[in-house]
Structure 1
Amino acid sequence: MLEQFLTVPYLPFTIACVVMIGIGLIEAIGLGLGHLDLDGDVGGDMHGGVLDWLGLGGELPILIWLTSLLGCFTVAGVAIQQVAEGWRAAPLAWPLATAGALLVGGLLNTFAARMLARIIPGFETSVISSDDLLRQRATVLEGTARRGAPARAKVVDRHGQAHVIMVEPHDDRDAIASGSTVLIVRRDGARFFALADDDTFLRSI
């Protein structure tokens, strides 16, 4: 059976399954990427229309939705190829099977996403904007953060969810060593800027 999944007709579904497992591992190790809205506000006027139909109209994190879609696509594709083999003794060509799996898998995911949004608690309170990490304290995990050379840092949001972000010093001439605790004061895109707790500006706070 494993060899069958490595053949060309099944390859798109094998790749989708591997990607799905990879995303699941990212979620499992607690990076929290599925719970951090990195300014991914998709067309507000589409809310209640196409997004609702796709299962994205609620508060389901995008990575959970994508994992569900990949799972539905994989199941639909394998089922289509199995039916084709039973009917005509050979699987369909991969482009035809992929098109069918996208249609069927998309429909299945509409229901799956809505069900996940109902049964998985806490998403409506744990989905945050990246701006919500401002004025929070973080710990530099490794390396020394300098201007133009950010270091990885961990910050825990108000819901207790840990996030790994890239941090640079707020002041150009500062350097923040590994293990230091910092206060996040601003951000530019996905990059955050912080003041070390031993900064003279923070001593009076």
Structure 2
Amino acid sequence: MIDFWLADENLFFAAAFVLMIAVGLLQLVGLGEFGADADIDIDADLDVDVGNASVADGLLSFLGWGRLPFMMLLVLFLMVFGLTGFAGQQIVQSVTGGLLPTFIAAPAAALAALPVTGILSRPLSRIIPKDETTAVSIDDLTGRRATIDIGTAKPGFPARAKAKDRHGYSHALMVEPDSDDGIFNAGEEVLLVRREDDIFKAVAVGTHWLEET
């Protein structure tokens, strides 16, 4: 059995279990949490229009993104990836007497593990106490400050911006001025005042006041 686990064709799956254990141990001792000042894109960092952004958000949600803290989602994926890979290789070996090469087995296991991880994240997100998860609703960004990242935001022409949630995680979002004559340039800081579908409406900092939490 050890020879099977450590076979060259299975090294990716063995490494996934080792990494899963390492990340889990770091979580237990408190070293695996992302710091509040870490600039981590929780949303997809994509230069796309609003329609494509909706598709990307839907795909990420299906894969479990946002339901669990990132580190927990990573541990779950590594576990599913490793188990799927070993199980698949065992079936192949029992049928053919050999193992699939790594360049076939690893991508196949990853493709199978992604939707399974998303499915498993749903019940886990209901079990984990809410005060222990860093997942936030996109609406929680209303009332927070954002920085225009790419492009110039005008009415009807949103630009990409980044905002940090209450945990300090960074989100990519689309922003346009709340007024008909507003213009926000790249690097400008704005205040998110409301959301319409996938677009956040914002005002220049200093023209409106909402308490940040």
Using the size of structure 2 for normalisation, the TM-score is: 0.50
**CA shift in 2, pair 1:71/1:143, >3 Å:** same
What is the aligned-residue identity percentage?
A: 28
- C-alpha deviation, 1:102, in angstroms: 6.5
Find the residue that maps to 1:144 and give its secondary structure: coil
In structure 1, stretches of 5+ residues that fail to align are 6-12, 18-26, 43-55
The answer for the alignment partner of 2:43 in structure 1 is 33
**CA shift in 2, pair 1:197/1:110, >3 Å:** closer
Higher mean C-alpha displacement, 131-140 vs 76-85: 76-85
Q: Which has the higher contact order (CA 8 A, sep 6+)?
A: 2
Count of aligned positions: 152
- C-alpha deviation, 1:65, in angstroms: 6.8
- C-alpha deviation, 1:176, in angstroms: 0.9
Letter in 2 for 1:175: I
Cα shift readout 1:80-131 (whole Å, capped 9, x = no counterpart): 3332344341569x9xxx8xx969x959x959x85xx87xx941xx322222
Separation in structure 1 between the aligned mates of residue 152 and residue 161 of structure 2, nearest angstrom: 10
Q: Does the CA contact (< 8 Å) of 2:39 and 2:170 recur in 1? A: no
- C-alpha deviation, 1:61, in angstroms: 1.9
**CA shift in 2, pair 1:141/1:106, >3 Å:** closer
In structure 2, stretches of 5+ residues that fail to align are 1-5, 17-33, 45-56
The answer for the alignment partner of 2:197 in structure 1 is 189
Separation in structure 2 between the aligned mates of residue 141 and residue 188 of structure 1, nearest angstrom: 20
- C-alpha deviation, 1:169, in angstroms: 0.5
Matches within 5 A, 1:31-180: 31-33=41-43, 60-61=67-68, 67=74, 70-87=77-94, 88-90=96-98, 122-123=132-133, 126-180=134-188
Using the size of structure 1 for normalisation, the TM-score is: 0.51
Higher strand fraction: Structure 1 or Structure 2?
1
